[in-house]
Amino acid sequence: MAKNKLQLEYPLKSASVSVLWNKIGTPLGLSEWFANEVIVNNNKYLFKWNNYEETAYLLDIKPLMKIRFQWEDEIENNTYFELKVETNEITGEVTLVITDFTESNEEEDVILLWDKQIEELKRKTGMG
pLDDT band of residue 128 (cuts 50, 70, 90) is low
97: nearest Cα among 107, 88, 106: 88
pLDDT for 5 beyond 80: yes
Residue 53 phi, psi dihedral angles, 5° rounding: -145, 155
Which pLDDT score is estimated for 1? Answer: 63
For residue range 80-103, list pLDDT tens digits in order: 999 999 998 888 889 999 999 999
Q: What percent of the chain has pLDDT over 90?
A: 80
What confidence tens digit (pLDDT) does each residue in 34-76 have? 999 999 999 999 999 999 999 999 999 999 999 999 999 998 8
User: What pLDDT, on the 0 to 100 scale, is given for residue 78?
Assistant: 86
* Cα atoms in the 13 Å half-sphere on the side-chain side of 91: 10
